[in-house]
Structure formats: C-alpha cells, structure tokens
Structure 1
Amino acid sequence: MTVGAGVAVQDGSLVALGRRILTDVRRNVLVTPAAGGGLTNGAFLGVRSAPAGSRSVFPVGKLRDLRFMCTFRFKMWWMTQRMGSSGRDIPFETQFLIVEGVDESRFTGDGAEQSVVYTVFLPILEGSFRAVLQGNADNELEICLESGDPAVESFEGTHLVFVGAGSDPFEVITNSVKTVERHLQTFSHREKKKMPDMLNWFGWCTWDAFYTNVTAEGVKEGLQSFEKGGVAPKFVIIDDGWQSVSMDPVGIASIADNAANFANRLTHIKENHKFQKNGREGHREDDPAKGLAHIVNEIKGKHELKYVYVWHAITGYWGGVRPGVDGMEHYESKMHITTNGLGLVNPEKVFSFYNELHSYLASAGIDGVKVDVQNILETLGAGHGGRVLLARKYHQALEASIARNFPDNGIISCMSHNTDNLYSSKRSAVVRASDDFWPRDPASHTIHIASVAYNTVFLGEFMQPDWDMFHSVHPMAEYHAAARAVGGCAIYVSDKPGNHDFNLLKKLVLPDGSIMRAKLPGRPTRGCLFSDPARDGKRGGGLPVQERFLASDTERSREYEVFTVVPVMHLSNDASFAPIGLIRMFNSGGAITGKAIEFSYDDSCGLVTFELGLPVQELYLWTVSVKY
C-alpha cells in the first residue's frame, strides 16, 4: 500500500484506516499523499488559501474521547509528556502526537477485543516555517506556523503535518519519521547515524562536582578518587568552566542557581588560566603544550581514559561571542536582543568559528564536545531569514566541523528539544533526553525518568537519547542507575571527589570500565503508552503468570524493579537452562552476546560439560566451561 492510502478527509472527518480520528474538519484543510512508495499509511496535512504572516494558527478538526500521548515543550529547551482524550488537553508547542483510535471500551459485545489504530501527527518544517500543534477550548486540534522573522511571511502551506497510521504504535512512529526524512531530506534517522564509542563506557562529568569552578587539578582529583574504589571512568566531560569568558564592562550579572553566569561572553578560543600549566589569571599562555593539552595528555596517560569531551554553547558561550574582541573579530559577531543580549557569530562565518575551536580542541587531545543551549537560536532568527534557516546554517556548520575534527562523531546535543534542530540534524547521534538531573529537588526524580522514557518515543527516532548524569550517592541513586541500565544510553555520574557508592557503580560497570548498554533506546511499553505514571496518582504493578495480584506486587512511588526476560533453552538430555547473564548487574542480560552450546555427557557419572564461546577482546569475556 502506498503512502497516502488509509488517511483521508471523509464526510467532514479525518479518517485513518477506517477509524475516525478528528471530526468537524475545516474545509480549508488539504490532504496530500507523500511522493513515492513508503513504509506506512499516511499523508500530509496543509491548508488552502492561507493568509500570509510570520505567525499563523489554523484549526484542523475536533478530537474527542480518544486517548492520546504527546510530547510538548514545557520550557524553551525541553519537552515532556502529556496525556489526555480531547483537543483542549493538547498543550502549546506540541511537537509529537499519537492518538489511540479505539472507543473508550476496548471490547465488543461478545467480549472480543477491538482492533486499535494508532495515528501519529508529526508537525514539520516547510520552507522557512516551523509547525507545531496545540488545542483550543472547542477541542479543535490547531496548527501553529511560525517563521521567527517578521519579514518572512509567505509560505506554501501544503505540507505542515505528516499523519501516519497503523496497528503497531512503534512501527507507525518509526515509519512516519522515515517518511518525513525522505520528504525533507534535511535530517537522518537514528539508524543511519554513527554512534560515538563513548556510549559504551562508564563516564564522569565535572558539572555537579565543581560547576564553573572546575580546574585541571579538580579533574585529576576526581579521577584519582574513582580509581581508589576500583571503578574507573573511561570518558570524562569537562563541563562549563574551562573557557575564556568575561562580562561586558557595563554588563549586568545574571547568575543561575548552579553558578553559571549567563551574562558572560566568549573572549578567546583557547582555555582559561585554570587549564593552563602554571596558569595565572590575566596571563595567556601561548605555548599549546602548556594549554589544555597538558591536562588531557596527563589524565589519558595516567588513568587510561579513552575519551575526553568538553562543553560549549552553540553560540560559543551563554552570552555568545563578544563582538570585536581581539583575535575573534573575523567571526563578525553582533549583538542580538535577548536577556543581556547575545553576541551572535555571523551565520556565514560560523563554520570558521566552529572549525577553529574544534581543531584546537582536537590538537589538544579532545575527542568530542557537548554542545549546549541549542534552542537559543530560535529567538535570533529576525534579520537572518527566520529561525529555521538560522538553525539549519548553524547545524550544517557544526556537523561539518565535527566530521572534520572528531572522527568518532563526538558530539552530545543539549538543550535542543525543538524541531528546528531535530529536522536539521544529519549526523548528530546523541541528544540529552530531558531536563536536568536536579540533585536537590526531591520531586524531580520520578518526573525526570518518566520524561526521558516518553520523550524517547519521539526523540529516539532521531538520535540516541542521553539520560543525563546522576550521583551514585543520593537517595534516588539506585532508581536512576536502574533506569539508565535499560535506557540504551551512556552511563555517567557527576560525583564529587570522594563521594561515591562503588557497590552501586559495580552493578553498572564491568572491571574494564565498559557498560552493558541496551541495544535500543528505552521506551514505555504499549500498555502504558497513554498513561502517565508520574502524574496519574497510581502505583505501579504487574500481573503474575498465575493471574493472582498481591500487595507485594505493587510498586510504591520511587520504587523500581528490573526484569530480565530470556528464553529457556532445552538440551537433548532433557536438561534446561536460561542464560540470564551476570546476576549482580542491573542489566544482567546485557552480558549475553550470543548462545552457542557444545556439550558432552559422561554416562558413568552423569557429568554434562558444555562450553559457552564468548569474545575475549577487552571486555573481560572469555570461553567459560560450565559443569552441570
């Protein structure tokens, strides 16, 4: 069946595979089949005869009495989930929506379960405009279209939202994103991207350990502290605090709770004095060997680190690049109006900026970058052709520089949950999946885990979601650790030196520093796709095989269980076993890389001997002889 089949407007309703999804559809709504063959039933929604404007809102049709899950931006930087059953429940800035096309009762009169049609709505980019979804008080689903530049007003309006439908929600989502990929040709699906190897190793981030007060000595102290407990990180992220920054002479400080000064601007490509050998404040060391390279070479050599990443904002620093500063004039940065203003590098010069920054970092032994504050670009589109064009220019330049300087595709995208970025990312393969881990906010932890899981339903089609750092010594440490073990993500902590729970870390990390990473991004199961465990006021539980439900089967708030499900293998002598892996690890099954059994039987004593052939390279796996 070709793309476009199965989704249509019939008798005033939007119908997907025979299921009515929206009613009272506006007459100006246009349905356009996707060009060429495809993997899913679907079509594009647009509008006819739309008036020009840099921002417009178009009602589509009414959504009533059908469960949905959506991801929307609750902050400029981040998405979270929302569940509901009517159009008025759909929040502003909804970037992904999936509707369960079934009546409230799943069963027909004879007790048979009705078939379910899952319908996905993906608001996309068209030309210089970005579409999102929202609801109104009349239960109508609306399309909000915006360019981000008052001078950019004209749009075609035919391909604003892709609608896909099918019986498997996860297949529908994947195939719909792939259809949009073919249509836009501006981004790549996660399956086509090179995953950086740092994902497979345990890491440490300096942020919560030091915030912007991080120093070269602090990095060394932190790594030594881990080694004392026998759990050594193999990658390090040197977060905010290593760059050369300062406020404008007449600037107004804007200090966040975590000590980052948002009014600071970048004043030099190279590191500040804290990361120079024998560095002094106010003095710049020009010898590259005494710059960042000296600490990187030392910690890689002494602690056998595989990868060192550093942090920077997509605009250089929180306040951008200071215009006219010595040595950086050629980037032609200009002030743009945000809080305290932002020094934005000329989009035509931004590749030069990234390449000079990244080539210097690479020469110092740095393997990748965490690129933060990405969504700030959406506020700066005026005078640059709009937010979509500005974001695309920056991301094309950024990814070109990453490809040139960091061959392992060493980039983590952060504060980047808008579709300007997602639909412009050809190479970037790792994305922070939710708001931060907030160690001092007790209410944030269950919400953090739930947001990551539900955001991953959408984000996981574009990149490998990153669940953020956590602390190994914390009231919710095990909760966070268990979630990351099944998340398919990098596992890294931000412990202060000397403040580690090595028993917990050893449930995540093998002796060589590698982790047993799940193969795919961790998502909610189909059964809870439309239920919000963080906000529904219910406790979790599972129905045992024997169909009895006990109080002990119920998980209280902030409790967890990790289940490893493996098939039972039967041998010819009627012996059976299940290879559950390393039982002391959270992801025990991750230790099983294959099952190939050779066995012999000694009938004189009843001894069965079989060998499990496993790789011997670096990961502490070898051929194991088991006697039964």
Structure 2
Amino acid sequence: MAATSTTHLFQTRMFFPPTTIAPLTSPFSTFLGPHQRLLSKGCRRIGQRRRCRHSMFVNAKLLLKDGTLSVNGKDALKGVPENVVVTPFTGSSAFIGATCADASSRLVFKLGVIQDVRLLCLYRFKIWWMIPRVGNSGRDIPIETQMLLMEAREGNSQSSKEHNSYFIFLPVLDGEFRSSLQGNSSNELELCVESASQLYLYHSLSEGGTPAKFLIIDDGWQDTVNEFQKDGEPFIEGSQFGGRLISIKENSKFRAVGDVTESGAPVSLKDFVSEIKSSFGLKYVYVWHALLGYWGGLDPNASGTKKYDPKLRYPVQSPGNLANTRDLSIDAMEKYGIGVMDPAKISEFYDDLHSYLVSQNIDGVKVDVQNILETISSGLGGRVLLTRRFQQELEKSISTNFQDNSIICCMAHNTDSTYHSKQSAITRASDDYYPKNPTTQSLHIAAIAFNSIFFGEIVVPDWDMFYSLHDAAEFHAVARAVGGCGVYVSDKPGQHDFNVLKKLVLPDGSVLRARYPGRPSRDCLFIDPVMDKKSLLKIWNLNKCGGVVGIFNCQGTGSWPGLESNAEEDITFELSGKVSPSDIEYFEEVSTGPWTQDCAVFRFNTGSLTRLSKEESFDITLKVLQCEVFTVSPIMVYNQTIQFAPIGLTNMYNSGGAVEAVDSSDSSGSKIHITGRGGGDFGAYSNLKPKSCYVNSEDLEFQFREEDNFFGVTIRAKTSSWEITICY
C-alpha cells in the first residue's frame, strides 16, 4: 500500500483574525469535511473548501526550489527531502505531503530543517491536554505537536512587528489518517501519520451579592458500579477509573429507591434540579458524563446497559503519547478496561441519555474523557473515523434534545476531536485547576492563553473553575476577566472571597465578558513566561468600545512538564516589563471615527488614568503571582472640542466590558451618551469638565480630577442597564 500524508502550512502577516469565535466561521475552523479527501492510498483529490467570513491571509508566493521551501522570499524549511510534495491551495496556503511505498499504520516523514527562528509549539503533554513550548530550532519541537507557529522577519528587523511574518503549520486529518508534528536531534521537522488501527454552594454566593446562574453537577450523580472497589478493603489509587455505568438514570443520592428516599435524598433528579433552580435563581443546570458514558464505559452485564451491546476493550496508547507524560487515569483504564458500546448503538445511547436528562429539567452536558477513542479504535475503523462517528452522533443528539448548543467538551485536546467538532462551541483549554498544588497556578494561566491561539479560532476556550478563597484567587480571576470566557467557581458554601468575586460578577449574576478569547500579546508569542525568569505574560482582548490587557508574573512557582528543574527556585524576585496600547490587536475595530490617535489607559489596582499615544509604552513591575489589568479606550473627538473616552465600571476587573455604546447625537454636539450595564463606579476620560451628568434621566453628582482628566459617577448597585448623559 502506498501511503501519502499531509500537513497544512499557512503564511500570514496578520496574526489574529477579527473573528467572533462562532464555530466554523474563522480561518482555522475550515478543516476538511467528510467529502474533502486529500489523499487516498497515494491518490490526491482536493475538494472545495468552506468560504470564511473573516480572513487573516494575504497573497503569498510559495516556492520549493533546491530543497528550500520559501514564502515571499523567506525560508520556512531547508533540506526538504525529494519525497515531499508541496501543493498550493490558496494564495497564502499550501498542503505539504510526503509519499512512500511502505505499508504501515504509523509513518514518520522528514519535511525539512528548521534552525535559528523563534517558534511556538502547542503539543499534547498528556493524552488529554496541550501545553505550549517555545524554542529556536527543530530539536525544540516536542512529539505530539498539533500547532507550530514560526516567526520570519524582513531584513535585519529585530523589533518592529509591522515587518514580521508568521508561518503556521497545522497537521490535519485525512480520511482514516491523523497527523502530528515533531522534531529530531538533527533539527528536522517530522510529520507523524497514524491511522490508529494498530494495537497500541449557591445560597452563600447569593447572599454575598454574586448569585450563580449556571451550575454543573460533576461526576458523582450517575448510576454506576465499581468491581475494583470493595467495602472494607483498602482503596487502590486509580481504581476510581474502573467504575462503569449500569443505567442512564441518576443514583440513589438523587432519587427515591422504591417508596423510600435515602436520608435527605430528593424524590428524583428532576425534583432536585427544579428545587435548586427555584431556590437559587439558577438559569442553567448541566450534568457531567464521559463520552463513553463513564470512565470505565458501560457495564456489559447490567440490565440498564445491555441494549447498547458493550464489549470490554483495553486501551493502547500511541508511541507519541507514551513519549510524554503518563497519566493515572489512562494507566488505570488500560488495567481495568472500558465497556465500549457497539458503534451501531451510539446514536441510540446518546438519544436515550440526553432525552432522559431533558425530562429531568437538565439544560446541557459537559462531556469528558473524549480522547479515549484514539486508544480503543482497533477493529472499529481507526481513531479518526471512530471519532468522527462519535462526534457526529453526539452533536446530533445535543441538537435534537437540548434547546441550545448545550455542550462543554473536555479532555479533548487531540485533533481527531477538535477537527470533527462541527457544532460544539466550548472546549476546556487546559489541564485541571489544582487548588492544592502551588506549582500549577501560573502554568494553568499560561497554558490556556497560548492554547487559545489554536482553540480560539475553532471554539470558545473554557478556563475551568477556580477557588475565590485562595492564595492565587486574584491571579485566576483577572485571567478569566480578560479571557473572554465564562466564570466558574468551585468554592465550598460559605468559603468565598467576595472582594474578588464582586470584581468579576455583577449583582444580577452576569459577567462582563470580553469579546474574543484572551491570547498572548504579539511580543509574548515566542517567550516562556513560566520558566525563563525574565518575561511577564500579557493577555489582550477587546470589548465593544475599547480594549483590555492583563499582565501576569508567572515565573518562579513551577515548571512545564518535561522541563522540570531540580534547582531551587528563587520565588521572591520581581520582574519588569512594558505595556502599550499597541499590545491590543485589531484596535481599529473600536477606534473608527474621529480618533485623536491617543488612548486613555486606566490601571485597575491604583485607579490611575494616563493618556498615551497608541505606540507609547510604560513600565510595570510585578512580584511572583501578582497581576494587573489595564483598560485601554480610544480618545475620540466630539463637536471638535470635546475629547472623551469611556473606561467603564472601574470597580470591575474588565471595566470596559460594561460599556455598550457611545455617541453624541444631539444637534448641539455638547452632550455625550453612554449606554451600558451593571451598577458600580463609572469612569471616563474627558479633556473638559462637564456641567452636569444624568444617569437614566436622574441628575447625579459627579467627580472630576483635573490632574488626569478623570470623570466619575456612581451608578446605583442594583441597576441592570443604564444610559449616562454628560452635558458640556
């Protein structure tokens, strides 16, 4: 059998497209559909590609000559072997393939040499999760890399981002084959291709003024059995992953058994959900379940699961996974096996489960352990085709049974799952939040920010839960504020820090969510903010009328897996860096009209306001696990004399998220109208002192600081929406 495989290369000057993060509307989400086979046993067929609403591409000239692959005269790969084939696909992208005559379910091709360039890799360090790795040559590219970003510069430019170009390599799916990237000791970029058919708390939150509106009932509600855990016997670490589902219904903690309920147990899951919704004002209640029902799948002998014809299978991991960090859960599943339903019964299982949950007043599901399919696909068509089948049936069931696109995907960081998620809108973007492990707090933030470069073009990255009463609580809270994500806490009832929560959550339970996934600023793309002992991490985002930048000192508390150091770390050092309005990409989206080219920059922790040009910068110094957040608003001109920029609610981390619109619509041009939501302290930059201020038509006193032109007015705490009129 002749086998040929493909990786996708993008070249562009603009890094982040202005996507609204809706699934399948941005460049990175236009991957191959089921009828777009690139290769089939040595044959090449290219189908039509979905048209993008947004594009980050520019026309580029791609050339493979004398063993060098270049784009617009900048070398991407040198020493390209003769069996590598480059096929231009658009004016700025191409497919890179390699041919061979060997028949195998796992092939590794050399694509060419990478040296002396800055690069960023997103790779799977565990079977479930990705983290970033930066480097300068091919040897720095880890096994299981699923996105490779390389920087190329014009001429001798060392700093100007206007002259930087970027190459993005995305390993794609191709029929029954899945690919990933890796480097070798000779600095060669390699393409690994596999078919895998081989064997290898809510009452207390409301009282504190931050009511929850969304609840996930995590692992523990389902009807399961675990033959590896016996009463009276010592607990065996990992045995918890041997449990299997025996019915699609809830266990006895959530329902009556016969005519008798256990102590405090509700009559049914529906009774429990209805009660907590009415008691605490919850809008949505989700439940957790694994892709195969439970960690150990379905019990082959249980009356409630026999209809799905489950068979016991023992996972076998690929060489790529085995080369990185081992994980207790998959090691346990290899030992205990998984009850895998008949693929012909997938649709029936999901429809039975989800229709039952809907009948119990459940609004959606968090589907976990998704990458498990790659380990149990032998004899079932291989990992790619099996994943496609499960994803299609899962999303079909979600669409059929729930009112909205009500699914959160988790433990799904392989491209098999990601590229087949055509409707699922939210994916957990990191390993778990570990509150008891101080070495993982900064890693969690950095990993999600970098992973969002990839995931943010396909889904809405989920930043996971955190504790509000914790040494690193504000560190996590600020990251969620600039992350453009939902906000979850897993606090125990009564154990909250409302000083943190009230800066994230409005009194009505809503959050000031930024528009896009939070991602590293351009000057952070190729640095290691966790281990290089010199770099701060900056995460940028946009709101409707301005931008926001979060700055974090992630150094000195932990090490990336695989790069652990035994040397004692000095965790007391401070680091300094520069912050600029230009750290925010696509600022032109919020600065249309008569802009002065200056910005009002509000520093949250000090309450200071500074006027800067867009390209100016200033210094900031942070201790380990300290952070700061800056709201950046363009200063616009009204009536030729008024220069004004809204900051938003200055008591909230993402102040500008409260502002919906600004205009000056009256004929005199002496009034400015700002609409927004949420109670608190509203702030703005104004070059002139106003004469009066009205909030929802009520004349209110305001403050004005002439030293920095800060305008402030207090909006009543329980105000859900407002219109501020400032008169000059």
**TMscore range, shorter length:** 0.7 to 0.9
Q: Deviations over 1:175-230 (max 9, x none)?
A: xxxxxxxxxxxxxxxxxxxxxxxxxxxxxxxxxxxxxxxxxxxxxxx221212212
The alpha-carbon distance between structure 1 residues 463 and 256, as it changes in their structure 2 partners (threshold 3 A), is: farther
The alpha-carbon distance between structure 1 residues 378 and 533, as it changes in their structure 2 partners (threshold 3 A), is: same
Q: Which residue of 2 aligns with 1:66?
A: 117
- Where in structure 2 are the equivalents of 1:30-109 lying within 5 Å? 30-34=85-89, 38=90, 41-102=92-153, 106-107=157-158
Counterparts of 1:437 and 1:384, CA distance in 2? 34
Please state whether the residue corresponding to 1:366 is helix, strand or coil. Answer: coil
Conserved? CA contact 2:693–2:725, under 8 Å? yes
Cα distance, 1:556 vs structure 2? 2.5
Counterparts of 1:533 and 1:255, CA distance in 2? 39
Counterparts of 1:255 and 1:27, CA distance in 2? 57
- Where in structure 2 are the equivalents of 1:330-409 lying within 5 Å? 330-337=307-314, 338-409=334-405
Report whether the alignment pairs 1:128 with 2:176.
Answer: yes
Report whether the alignment pairs 1:556 with 2:623.
Answer: yes
Counterparts of 1:277 and 1:626, CA distance in 2? 60
Cα distance, 1:555 vs structure 2? 2.1
Q: Which residue of 2 aligns with 1:514?
A: 510
Report whether the alignment pairs 1:494 with 2:594.
Answer: no
The alpha-carbon distance between structure 1 residues 500 and 429, as it changes in their structure 2 partners (threshold 3 A), is: same
Cα distance, 1:623 vs structure 2? 2.4
Q: TM-score by structure 1 length?
A: 0.80
The alpha-carbon distance between structure 1 residues 103 and 84, as it changes in their structure 2 partners (threshold 3 A), is: farther
Please state whether the residue corresponding to 2:79 is helix, strand or coil. Answer: coil
Report whether the alignment pairs 1:224 with 2:324.
Answer: no
Counterparts of 2:662 and 2:493, CA distance in 1? 40
Cα distance, 1:571 vs structure 2? 3.3
Cα distance, 1:568 vs structure 2? 1.6
Amino acid aligned to 1:121: F
Aligned match for 1:234, one of 206, 213, 227: 213
Q: Deviations over 1:438-472 (max 9, x none)?
A: 10111101111000000000011110000000010
Counterparts of 1:475 and 1:367, CA distance in 2? 33
Counterparts of 1:497 and 1:580, CA distance in 2? 34
The alpha-carbon distance between structure 1 residues 233 and 279, as it changes in their structure 2 partners (threshold 3 A), is: farther
Report whether the alignment pairs 1:312 with 2:363.
Answer: no
Aligned match for 1:7, one of 59, 62, 65: 62
Q: Which residue of 2 aligns with 1:158?
A: none
Counterparts of 2:194 and 2:297, CA distance in 1? 24
Counterparts of 2:348 and 2:286, CA distance in 1? 20
Amino acid aligned to 2:170: L
Report whether the alignment pairs 1:482 with 2:478.
Answer: yes
Q: Which residue of 1 aligns with 2:724?
A: 624
Q: Deviations over 1:458-509 (max 9, x none)?
A: 0111100000000100000001000000111110100011101112111011
Amino acid aligned to 2:107: S
Counterparts of 1:123 and 1:280, CA distance in 2? 56
Cα distance, 1:4 vs structure 2? 9.3
Conserved? CA contact 1:66–1:103, under 8 Å? no
Cα distance, 1:549 vs structure 2? 9.0
Q: Deviations over 1:34-78 (max 9, x none)?
A: 2xxx4x501101112341101111111000101110100001000
- Where in structure 2 are the equivalents of 1:249-268 lying within 5 Å? 261-268=240-247
Q: Which residue of 2 aligns with 1:24?
A: 79
Please state whether the residue corresponding to 1:593 is helix, strand or coil. Answer: strand
Counterparts of 2:169 and 2:664, CA distance in 1? 47
Q: Which residue of 2 aligns with 1:445?
A: 441
Aligned match for 1:542, one of 578, 588, 606: 578
Counterparts of 1:265 and 1:506, CA distance in 2? 41
The alpha-carbon distance between structure 1 residues 548 and 330, as it changes in their structure 2 partners (threshold 3 A), is: closer
Q: Which residue of 2 aligns with 1:246?
A: 225
Q: Which residue of 2 aligns with 1:144?
A: 192
Please state whether the residue corresponding to 1:623 is helix, strand or coil. Answer: strand
Q: Which residue of 1 aligns with 2:706?
A: none
Q: Which runs of 5+ in 2 are unaligned?
A: 1-10, 12-56, 315-333, 537-576, 581-611, 672-688, 698-717
Please state whether the residue corresponding to 1:45 is helix, strand or coil. Answer: strand
Counterparts of 1:627 and 1:529, CA distance in 2? 44
Q: Which has the higher helix share?
A: 1
The alpha-carbon distance between structure 1 residues 527 and 296, as it changes in their structure 2 partners (threshold 3 A), is: same
Report whether the alignment pairs 1:580 with 2:647.
Answer: yes
Q: TM-score by structure 2 length?
A: 0.70
Conserved? CA contact 1:539–1:554, under 8 Å? no
The alpha-carbon distance between structure 1 residues 99 and 425, as it changes in their structure 2 partners (threshold 3 A), is: same
Q: Deviations over 1:326-379 (max 9, x none)?
A: 122110110001221000111110111111001000111111100001111110
Q: Which has the higher strand share?
A: 2
Q: Deviations over 1:547-569 (max 9, x none)?
A: 9999x722232111111100123
Amino acid aligned to 1:150: Q
Conserved? CA contact 1:28–1:47, under 8 Å? yes
Cα distance, 1:302 vs structure 2? 1.6
Give the percent of matched residue pairs that are identical in Structure 1 and Structure 2: 48
Cα distance, 1:9 vs structure 2? 1.4
Q: Deviations over 1:252-300 (max 9, x none)?
A: 999798x9810100111000011115789999xxx9x932100111111
Counterparts of 2:352 and 2:207, CA distance in 1? 38
Report whether the alignment pairs 1:276 with 2:260.
Answer: no
Q: Which residue of 1 aligns with 2:659?
A: 592
Conserved? CA contact 2:504–2:652, under 8 Å? yes
Report whether the alignment pairs 1:294 with 2:261.
Answer: no
Q: Which residue of 2 aligns with 1:195?
A: none
Counterparts of 2:109 and 2:235, CA distance in 1? 40
Cα distance, 1:115 vs structure 2? 3.0
Please state whether the residue corresponding to 1:293 is helix, strand or coil. Answer: helix
How many residues matched? 543
Q: Which runs of 5+ in 1 are unaligned?
A: 153-221
Amino acid aligned to 1:472: S
The alpha-carbon distance between structure 1 residues 28 and 549, as it changes in their structure 2 partners (threshold 3 A), is: closer
Conserved? CA contact 2:223–2:247, under 8 Å? yes
Conserved? CA contact 2:290–2:368, under 8 Å? yes
Once structures 1 and 2 are overlaid, which stretch shifts more, 223-232 or 330-339?
223-232
Conserved? CA contact 2:245–2:305, under 8 Å? no
Cα distance, 1:134 vs structure 2? 0.3
Counterparts of 1:376 and 1:104, CA distance in 2? 47
Counterparts of 1:65 and 1:392, CA distance in 2? 38
The alpha-carbon distance between structure 1 residues 470 and 299, as it changes in their structure 2 partners (threshold 3 A), is: same
Please state whether the residue corresponding to 1:48 is helix, strand or coil. Answer: strand
Please state whether the residue corresponding to 2:492 is helix, strand or coil. Answer: coil
Q: Deviations over 1:310-337 (max 9, x none)?
A: 0000010000001131122110110001
Conserved? CA contact 1:596–1:612, under 8 Å? no
Amino acid aligned to 1:266: L
Please state whether the residue corresponding to 1:348 is helix, strand or coil. Answer: helix
Aligned match for 1:433, one of 429, 435, 458: 429
Conserved? CA contact 2:528–2:535, under 8 Å? no
Cα distance, 1:251 vs structure 2? 8.6
Counterparts of 2:297 and 2:261, CA distance in 1? 21
RMSD: 3.3
Cα distance, 1:113 vs structure 2? 8.4
Q: Deviations over 1:366-397 (max 9, x none)?
A: 11100001111110110101111111111111
The alpha-carbon distance between structure 1 residues 589 and 4, as it changes in their structure 2 partners (threshold 3 A), is: closer
Cα distance, 1:112 vs structure 2? 8.6
Counterparts of 2:136 and 2:435, CA distance in 1? 34
If asked which structure has higher relative contact order (CA below 8 Å, sep 6+), I would say 1
Conserved? CA contact 1:324–1:332, under 8 Å? no
